[in-house]
Structure 1
Amino acid sequence: MSSIHLSMIAGGFLLGALAGFLMHRSDYCVAGMFRDLFLFRATRMLKTLLLLITVSLPLFELIRLTGFVSVPFPFFGPPSLTNLLGGFLFGIGMVLAGGCVVGTLYRLGAGSFPGLLAFLGLVAGSTLFAGLYPQWTHVSRALALPTKAVTLPQLLGLPSWLLVLLLVPVLVTLIWRWFRDGSLYRSGVVDGYLQPWQAALGLALLGGASVLLVGMPLGITTSYAKFGAMLLAPLAPEYYASLNYFQLVPLRYTPPLGGGLISGGPGFGLDAVALVQFPLILGIVAGSAWSAIRLGEWRLQIKLPWRQVISAVLGGIIMGLASRMAPACNIWHLFGGLPIFALQSFLFLAGLFPGAWLGGLLLTRLVIPR
C-alpha cells in the first residue's frame, strides 16, 4: 500500500471522526429533519440543510474550477425514475429506522441499541438486493430517462458556475433572514450542545475536504453491501459466486492525490470502495463515541418495546434496499449531489419527501401510536 493510500485512510478516518462528533453534539439527523416536518411542522433542521447546501455550492464549484477534481463525481450517472423510487423507499426506511445511514452510525457510536439494529438491517437489505439485482436491471432499463446528461448544467447546456452565481445570492439572502429572526437557533440547549447550523457549516467544509482528499463527497452505502458480501462469501461461497451484483466494479478512477487508477465494488475484498468508505465509517462511530463519553452520555440500553425493535430492523432493511436502488443514500445525494446539480439527486429528493411522510404515518399509527 502506497503512502498516498495511507494518507487517504488516515484522512478519511479523521473526516469521519469530525463528522460523527459534529452530528452527535448537534443531533444532526437528516431522518429527523423530514420526520419532524410532517409530524410537528418543524422546519428548523431543514433550514440548516439548505444552509449546508448553500455553502457547498460555491465550495464544490471552486474546487471544480481548479481542475484538481473531476465533476460529476464517480458513481453519478444519468437520471432515472429509479432515483425517484429509491428516494421514496429510503424516506420510509429512514423514518422507521430512526436515522439515516449516517445517523445510524453516530447513534451506534453513542451506544444506541436501535442504531445497532438499524445497522444490521442496512447490511441485510443491501445483501438482499444482490439477489434481486438481475430483475432490477430490467426495471432500471424500463425507467431510464431519455438523456445522457448527469447534471442540470449539462442538460441545459450552461456552465455550472453561472447557475451557482445566480442561485447562491438568493439562498444567502433567505438564510440571512432566518438568522435575523432566530429561526436557525435552538433554544434551551445544554452544555456541550452544538447548534445545528454550526454543524451544517462544519459538515459542508468536511464535504469539501472529502472531495479534495478522495475525489468525491461523503458517502458510505456501497460498504453496507460489501459488509454483507464479506459475511456471505465464507458462509455460502457457491451462492455468493452466483450473484452477479457482487462481481460489479462500478468505481474506477484516479484519486486527486495520485497513486494511479483504483477500482472497486460491492463484492468481497479490500478494494477502492473499502479504501474510501471503511475509514469514514469507523471514524463516524469513533467520533460519536468520543463525544458521548466526554459528555458522560454513553450508555447501552438493550430493553426496547418489540414494536421499536421491528421498526428499527425493518427500516434498516428498507434503507439498505433503497440505497442500492436509488443508488446511494440521502447524505450522498443531499450533501454531495445537490451542490453539483446532479439530476439523480433532484429525483431522489423528490421521492424522499413523500416517503418520509408515509414513514411518519406508519410510525405514528403502528410503532408509537398515540
Structure 2
Amino acid sequence: MLQMIVLGIICGLLLGFVLQRGRFCVVGAYRDLLIAKDGRMFLATFIVIAIQSVGVYVLRDTGIIQFGNDGFPWLGTILGGFIFGIGMVLAGGCATGTWYRAGEGMIGSWVALFGYMLGAAMTKYGVWKATGDHLVSYRTSDTYIHETLNVSPWLLVIVLIIIVGILVIREFKKPKLPMFKMKPKKTGLAHILFEKRWHPFVTALLVGLIAIVAWPLSAMTGRMFGLGITTPSANILTFLITGDDALIDWGTFLVLGIFLGAFIAAKGSGEFRWRLPDMKTLRNNAFGGMIMGFGASIAGGCTIGNGLVNSALFAWQGWVAIVFFLLGTWVAAYFTIIRKQKSSSASKAA
C-alpha cells in the first residue's frame, strides 16, 4: 500500500504541476482550434501522443508492460465521446483540467469535479450501470489499428512521428507575434518553475515523458495501465460512500497527486485564489461535469485515458474517441459561444 501511495502521488504531483504551469487543457485545445483558429495546443496533444507511443512500445517490447486486447466498443466510444465533448465545454475543462483547476481554487471546477465523479460512479457502479454496460457491449474483435491493418505498430509510430515533426517545424517557422513581457520578479530555477511562461510544446514534451513513466510505476503496484482519470475519480467517491478499499489503487493517488501538484504550482506562481462564478456558470459546471463522467465511462476513458493513452497505443477506441470529443466540443462551443458572438455582432450592426 505504501508503494502504491508514494508512486501514485509522485507521478500525480509531477503531472499536476506541469499541467498547471503549462495551462495544458484539452478542451481549450479543441475549442481554440475552432474559435480562435489557433492549433498550437491541439498540436501539443499530438506531441504527447507521439512521444508516449515510442515509450510504451519500447516498454512493451522489452517485456516491462503489456497491453490488453478486449476489442473496440464502438457504440460506447462514439456516443460517450460526443457526450463527453459537450460536457467538457459546459464544465469549463476536461477531466484533468478540472482536477488541476480545482487545485487553483476555482469553485466552479470543484462543482464540475463533483459532478464528474458522481456521473462516472453512477455509470460504473450505480443506476446508469445497466445502460453503460449495454452500450459498451457493442464491440468489434480488433482492438488496435495495426491489428486490423496487419502491420507492425512501429510503422504507425514512425508515421505519426514524421507527421507531428513536420507540423512542429512548420509551427516554429511561422513569424512570432510580439508579446508583452513583465519584468521578472524571480531568478534562476524559481523563475523557470513559477514565473516564466511555458511554451505548449515544452509542456507537451514533459506530459509525454510523465505518461511513459506512469506505465511502469503503475505496473509495479499491479495496475497495468498508464494515466487514467475517470475510473479513479469514480472510485474515490464510491469508496467514500461504501468504504470498499478494493476500489483504491495507484490511479486513485495519481488524481489526488494532480490536485496537490496543481495547488503547489498555483501557490508558487501566485495564481491560487478562490474564485466563485455566477449561478448560471455553476449550474453548467455541475451538469457538464455529470454528463462528462457518464460520457467518459461509456467511451472507456476521457481525453487522457482515450485521447492521450489509448491513442498512443493505436487503439481504435482512442482515435475514434478523439474525433467525437472534437465533434461534441464544437457543437457545444457553437451554441454556448459562437452563436452568442454572432448574435451580438448582428445586434451592434443593426
The residue aligned with 1:17 is 13
Q: CA deviation at 1:366?
A: 9.1
- Asked if 1:275 is matched to 2:249, the reply is yes
1:212-236 CA-partner distances (Å, limit 9, x unpaired): 2113221021123223323544xxx
- Quick one: structure 1 residues 359 and 149, their matched pair in 2 at CA, closer, same or farther if it must change by over 3 Å? same
- Asked if 1:39 is matched to 2:12, the reply is no
Whether the 8 Å contact between 1:186 and 1:195 is mirrored in structure 2 is no
1:121, 1:96 → 2: CA distance?
11
TM-score w.r.t. the length of structure 1 is 0.81
SS at match of 2:128: helix
The residue aligned with 2:187 is none
The residue aligned with 2:166 is 173
The residue aligned with 1:257 is none
Among residues 206, 212, 218, which one is paired with 1:208 in the alignment? 212
The residue aligned with 1:219 is 228
Whether the 8 Å contact between 1:105 and 1:119 is mirrored in structure 2 is yes
Q: CA deviation at 1:193?
A: 2.4
TM-score w.r.t. the length of structure 2 is 0.85
- Asked if 1:92 is matched to 2:86, the reply is yes
1:189, 1:67 → 2: CA distance?
48
1:279, 1:224 → 2: CA distance?
10
Alignment of 1:199-348 (within 5 A): 199-215=203-219, 216-233=225-242, 269-271=244-246, 274-302=248-276, 304-348=277-321
Structure 1: which 5+ residue stretches go unaligned?
234-267
Structure 2: which 5+ residue stretches go unaligned?
183-194, 220-224, 345-350
Does 280-289 or 219-228 show the bigger shift?
Answer: 219-228
- Quick one: structure 1 residues 159 and 351, their matched pair in 2 at CA, closer, same or farther if it must change by over 3 Å? same
Whether the 8 Å contact between 2:48 and 2:207 is mirrored in structure 1 is yes
- Quick one: structure 1 residues 365 and 160, their matched pair in 2 at CA, closer, same or farther if it must change by over 3 Å? closer
Q: CA deviation at 1:16?
A: 0.7
Whether the 8 Å contact between 1:92 and 1:355 is mirrored in structure 2 is yes
Whether the 8 Å contact between 2:9 and 2:257 is mirrored in structure 1 is yes
SS at match of 1:99: coil
- Asked if 1:149 is matched to 2:142, the reply is yes
1:194-219 CA-partner distances (Å, limit 9, x unpaired): 22211100000000000121132210
The residue aligned with 2:189 is none
The residue aligned with 1:121 is 115
2:108, 2:145 → 1: CA distance?
38
Whether the 8 Å contact between 1:72 and 1:151 is mirrored in structure 2 is no
- Quick one: structure 1 residues 51 and 131, their matched pair in 2 at CA, closer, same or farther if it must change by over 3 Å? same
- Quick one: structure 1 residues 61 and 280, their matched pair in 2 at CA, closer, same or farther if it must change by over 3 Å? same
1:42-89 CA-partner distances (Å, limit 9, x unpaired): 21110111211121221221111111100248xx64232210111100
1:12-48 CA-partner distances (Å, limit 9, x unpaired): 1111111111111111111111112222222111011
How many equivalent residue pairs?
A: 324
Percent identity over paired residues: 29
- Quick one: structure 1 residues 110 and 135, their matched pair in 2 at CA, closer, same or farther if it must change by over 3 Å? closer
SS at match of 1:199: helix
- Quick one: structure 1 residues 60 and 113, their matched pair in 2 at CA, closer, same or farther if it must change by over 3 Å? same
